[in-house]
Amino acid sequence: MSSNHTTIVSAPGKVLLAGGYLVLDRSYSGLVVATSSRFYTSITSPSSSSPLISPSPLGSSVLPTALPSSSSAQSSNGTQSLTLSATSSDETQHSSSCEISVRAGQFSCQESTWTYSLSFDDDKGVQVEAIGEGKNKFIEITLTQTLRYVRARLAQDIGSVQAGKELRKRSRGIQVVVLADNDFYSQREQLSESRLPPRISSLASLRPFHPLPRPIHKTNKTGLGSSAALVTSLVAGLLQHLGVISIPSSSSSQSETLHHTSSPPPTQSTSTTSQSETLYISSISFGLDIVHSLAQFAHCLAQGKVGSGFDVSSAVYGTHIYRRFSPSILSQLMNSSSSSSSVSSSSSSLLISSLDPIEWDQQISPFRLPSGLRLMLADVDAGTDTPSFVGRVLKWREAERDPANDLWGRLDQANRCLEDVLSRIAGRESASDYMRELEQASRNGVGEKEEGSDGLVGLLGDAKTALNEIRRLLREMSDASQVPIEPPEQTRLLDACSACSGVIGGGVPGAGGYDAIFLLVIDQPGVIQAVEDIWASWTEMSVCPLLASQSDGGLRLESLEAVRGLKEALER
């Protein structure tokens, strides 16, 4: 009996805590927080289709002997060379095409399974053709562009003809299942059917990866960045499964510390051990950076525009301070590509050069929320669809350039103040009285900093002041642009929550609107209970909590047994 080769990759959701709108402009940065809720991609194929060269075992401190320098070497610009040879018998016993199926595991198989025919013609490159009537542009574009990239990488080492044969061999029999933690989709209907109140404890009692009754396009999302997490996990899963990159495992501390660097990985070290460790870490870091650039491209192509990219960046790197990449990096590639499933192999060099991490200029600054604090999230159903606000805000900024730039400058200063004070709070975590002071503040309340106050209580007051100032400036921008970034309904809800003891502050994430809020609170049961009581009794809008909190980690490999409910969901 033949066994299967399986790869499982997950990427977190996101919350843009500070930097809404400003993050579109490279002159400014944003604080993006990864969530504990994640999007999973599971890829399975017959073992005979697995890569001839496997990635380094994650968690190993040295490069294994299974990766000799003649087969996998670090090039001068940081890329990993893939010197491979396809098996001659394989060339004659298989056809020039194969099929890949992708299924969204929480939805009806009939409506949420997409099958693609892959062919690897020497002249037309990789062709991906959907079989059947159903379409999912995010999956189809991501699959197409990732396979294009893999073939282009292989062709650098073994030539275009052999690359097509090798990729066909590796792709044969691949089956993909994508699953999302429950928080990515509204669970109001599931709670109602189970006669459960909208509480965090109720959400925790639902089965993981709960089946959803409606098609994807009719299912309400919660704004955690499902499309970015889907694209990122699918790109990473395919690259890992096809043997192109190594990414960190869920047990590796590197999954929470590796971030984009514009410098090529070191190629020399003073000792064999340190050189091996450096090469291993460099290989993983480069792999994450490749996933980032390729996922940004696929996500932009599917959306039809080059966005800020903070959602994809968070899906790869986790929580951080983000300064966007220059849109011009993708201009030529976007212009030469389309959602068409047939792409000429002549564009391979453009694909490789455009996605080379060395050419990307985004800035990723590691960040984390202090221990003892918790991010609380809520899905708000105000009975109104939030329109796209970005175009209207940018139009206002163009028309009122001087006052708009002044406001953005003040908002940027408030955002930086929040980042600074949260970092200073994190710097006090080692103090013996840190947790005691937090617990005391959760009972006494957190007020805006008063003259003469200092220590942890003073820093918590500074954080409250910064969050309130960010909200005030966003309301000022709402009035000036006539865009309801923090509409009055949300203001009343946030004010009521912020008055609770232990609540530092909150806001509307990202572009704002009616559909979500976040709160930063001291992580004590009494504080969480008080907030939930307000949400449950709120009548102006329907408020449902999310189970998610903050998470530092980004993209990672998963073990099937380590993720609660994943095995059962994949077997459904």
179: enclosing H helix or E strand: strand 175-180
Same domain, 478 and 406: yes
Query: What span, in angstroms and rounded, lies between the C-alpha atoms of 243 and 126?
Result: 18
Flag whether 332 is in a domain: yes
Contact 12, 549 (CB under 8 A): no
Residue 84 has pLDDT above 60, yes or no: no
Provide the pLDDT for residue 47: 76
Contact 302, 227 (CB under 8 A): yes
Report, as an integer, the average pLDDT of 474-492.
Answer: 97
Same domain, 561 and 528: no
Provide the pLDDT for residue 285: 87
Same domain, 362 and 408: no
Q: Virtual CA dihedral for 454, 459, 460, 465, nearest 10 degrees?
A: 100
Flag whether 518 is in a domain: yes
Same domain, 335 and 428: no
* 29, 57, 220, 560 from 416: Cα distances, Å: 9, 39, 33, 40
Specify the pTM: 0.88
Flag whether 73 is in a domain: no
Domain that holds residue 312: 4-55+82-366+554-571
- Single out the residue of 522, 505, 374 nearest to residue 434, CA to CA: 522
For 130-151, how does the pLDDT look when each residue is reduced to its tens digit (9 = 90+)?
A: 998 788 999 999 999 999 999 9
For 547-560, how does the pLDDT look when each residue is reduced to its tens digit (9 = 90+)?
A: 999 998 999 999 99
Q: At what angle do helices 348-355 and 272-303 cross, to 10 degrees?
A: 110
Confidence bin at 49 (pLDDT 50/70/90): low
Provide the pLDDT for residue 385: 54
Looking at per-residue pLDDT, the higher value among 268 and 384 belongs to 384
Same domain, 136 and 284: yes
Same domain, 189 and 47: yes
For 419-435, how does the pLDDT look when each residue is reduced to its tens digit (9 = 90+)?
A: 999 999 999 999 999 99
Confidence bin at 275 (pLDDT 50/70/90): low
Contact 301, 334 (CB under 8 A): yes
Beta strands 175-180; 97-104: pairing state: parallel
Contact 247, 288 (CB under 8 A): yes
Provide the pLDDT for residue 109: 87
Same domain, 418 and 338: no
The Cβ of residue 545 has, within 10 Å, a number of other Cβ atoms equal to 22
Provide the pLDDT for residue 159: 87
Same domain, 200 and 107: yes
Mean pLDDT score of the chain, rounded to an integer? Answer: 85
Would the CA dihedral through 155, 161, 162, 165 be positive or negative? positive
Flag whether 62 is in a domain: no
For 280-296, how does the pLDDT look when each residue is reduced to its tens digit (9 = 90+)?
A: 566 788 899 999 999 99
Flag whether 60 is in a domain: no
Provide the pLDDT for residue 160: 84
For 339-382, how does the pLDDT look when each residue is reduced to its tens digit (9 = 90+)?
A: 444 445 457 889 999 999 999 999 999 999 999 999 999 999 86
In the chain, pLDDT over 70 holds for what percent of residues?
81
Provide the pLDDT for residue 264: 42
Query: What span, in angstroms and rounded, lies between the C-alpha atoms of 266 and 290?
Result: 17
φ/ψ bin of 455: left (φ > 0), alpha (ψ from -120 to 50), beta (otherwise) = left
- The DSSP output letter for 342 is B
Find the length of the chain: 572
Same domain, 293 and 434: no
Contact 40, 179 (CB under 8 A): yes
Query: What span, in angstroms and rounded, lies between the C-alpha atoms of 446 and 429?
Result: 18
Beta strands 97-104; 113-121: pairing state: antiparallel
Looking at per-residue pLDDT, the higher value among 453 and 121 belongs to 121
Q: Exposure of 501 by Cβ count < 10 A (0-12 exposed, 13-18 middle, 19+ buried)?
A: middle
Same domain, 153 and 267: yes
